[in-house]
């Protein structure tokens, strides 16, 4: 059963800031030219695990360790959150189990193999992997850490926006790729904490797997159809009743859907034009801006390059295919 949790408290936000500052170096915010338009980009792809999700993982594992210094943790992930938990457990001295689908990104599974964790591949979707992880958590009486439905995870993700505001106070509109909604929720909380309600947000999901988009329009997770997407970090994300659903809905953040071909084109364009490798989940935000899916042509806009963990084979395939 999915836990019903509350948004992070001030204490949880402060604890997340401390543990992130202790173990991570602030990633830069740079300006890229996206088809001639200057766009601010928070380079979370430079994190040691290749993704922003290490922030929330550090905050959650640290909180678990403080509650029970000898306790183990378990999680389910499409890959990047699992890498975050693996990294956090190694630096904080906590035993961890990571459950990923059998069809998870080969690049992410390979990286997970470099950590001293119990790695389990189960099912063919995030939902199946999560159900198995929750079952194991009950059997073993250990803490399950959701990739998004966890106040400490959300508090950790909020630190990315904290940094971006310090680095680029001129930001007026942030575009955020959304799976379960942890990064967007954390950014919304950070915006409020900094008194920057003038900054607009737009959430982005792939057309092929847009759970939150449909759930916020009245569907249940069971009713959402998921098709393959290279934005695997966004695929299948979300839970009925997750705190992230309420946070995003209460702030009336618009969500837009990006076609698969545009995500692939964005991965290629980022590499060829800017010399930067990003995975499909990050490229979804890039694509939303360049394809004018975001309703804003004048504000100082930005996005979070959320990760770089794309397999070499897929990257080569995208660079070689005729996209027009």
Q: What would the pLDDT profile of 173-186 be if each residue is shown by its tens digit? A: 999 999 999 999 99
What residues pair up with 204 in beta bridges, in sequence order?
A: 177, 256
Give the pairing of strands 200-206 and 173-177.
parallel
Average pLDDT for residues 191-216, to the nearest whole number?
Answer: 95
Quick one: average pLDDT of 152-165?
Answer: 98
Separation of alpha carbons 131 and 74, rounded Å: 12
The pLDDT of residue 306 is above 60: yes
Mean pLDDT of 107-129: 92
pLDDT, average across residues 24-49: 97
Angle between helical axes of 151-167 and 182-193 (0-180°, round to 10): 60
> Averaged over 267-281, what is the pLDDT?
96
- Give how far the C-alpha of residue 183 lies from the chain's centroid of Cα atoms, to the nearest Å: 6
pLDDT at 236: 76
pLDDT at 162: 98
Q: Is 80 exceeded by the pLDDT of residue 324?
A: no
- Closest among 158, 154, 168 to 41, alpha carbons compared: 168
For 263-282, what is the mean pLDDT?
96
The tokens describing 1, both together, are: 């059963």
Say yes or no to pLDDT of 219 above 90.
no
Q: Which domains does the chain have, with CATH numbers?
A: 10-51+154-320 (3.40.50.1100), 54-144 (3.40.50.1100)
What mean pLDDT comes out for the span 52-70? Answer: 94
Residue 86: exposure state from Cβ atoms within 10 A (0-12, 13-18, ≥19): buried
pLDDT for 68:
86
pLDDT given at position 323: 65
**What local confidence, expressed as pLDDT, does residue 2 receive?**
62
Whether pTM > 0.85 for this model: the answer is: yes
Per the listing, tokens 């915006």 go with: 191
Over the chain, what is the mean pLDDT? 94
pLDDT of 79 above 90? no
């Amino acid at each position: 059963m999915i836990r019903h949790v509350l948004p992070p408290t001030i204490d949880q936000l402060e604890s997340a800031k401390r543990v992130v500052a202790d173990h991570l170096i602030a990633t830069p915010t740079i300006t890229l030219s996206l088809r001639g338009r200057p766009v601010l980009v928070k380079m979370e792809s430079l994190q040691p695990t290749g993704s922003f999700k290490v922030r929330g993982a550090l905050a959650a594992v640290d909180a678990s360790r403080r509650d029970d210094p000898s306790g183990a943790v378990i999680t389910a992930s499409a890959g990047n959150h699992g890498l975050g938990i693996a990294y956090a457990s190694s630096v904080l001295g906590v035993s961890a189990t990571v459950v990923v689908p059998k069809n998870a990104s080969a690049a992410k599974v390979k990286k997970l193999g470099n950590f001293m964790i119990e790695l389990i591949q189960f099912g063919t979707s995030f939902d199946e992997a999560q159900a198995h992880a929750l079952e194991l958590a009950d059997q073993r009486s250990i803490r399950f850490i959701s990739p998004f439905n966890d106040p400490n995870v959300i508090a950790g993700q909020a630190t990315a926006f904290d940094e971006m505001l310090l680095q680029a106070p001129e930001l007026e509109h942030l575009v955020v790729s959304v799976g379960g909604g942890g990064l967007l929720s954390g950014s919304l909380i950070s915006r409020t904490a900094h008194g920057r309600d003038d900054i607009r947000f737009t959430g982005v999901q792939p057309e092929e797997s847009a759970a939150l988009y449909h759930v916020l329009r009245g569907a249940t997770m069971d009713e959402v159809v998921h098709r393959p997407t290279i934005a695997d970090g966004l695929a299948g994300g979300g839970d009925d009743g997750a705190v992230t659903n309420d946070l995003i809905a209460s702030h009336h953040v618009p969500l837009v859907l990006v076609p698969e071909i545009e995500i692939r084109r964005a991965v290629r364009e980022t590499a060829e034009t800017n010399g930067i490798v990003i995975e499909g989940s990050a490229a979804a935000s890039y694509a939303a801006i360049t394809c004018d899916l975001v309703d804003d042509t004048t504000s100082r806009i930005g996005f979070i390059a959320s990760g770089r963990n794309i397999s070499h084979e897929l990257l080569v395939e995208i660079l070689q295919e005729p996209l027009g």
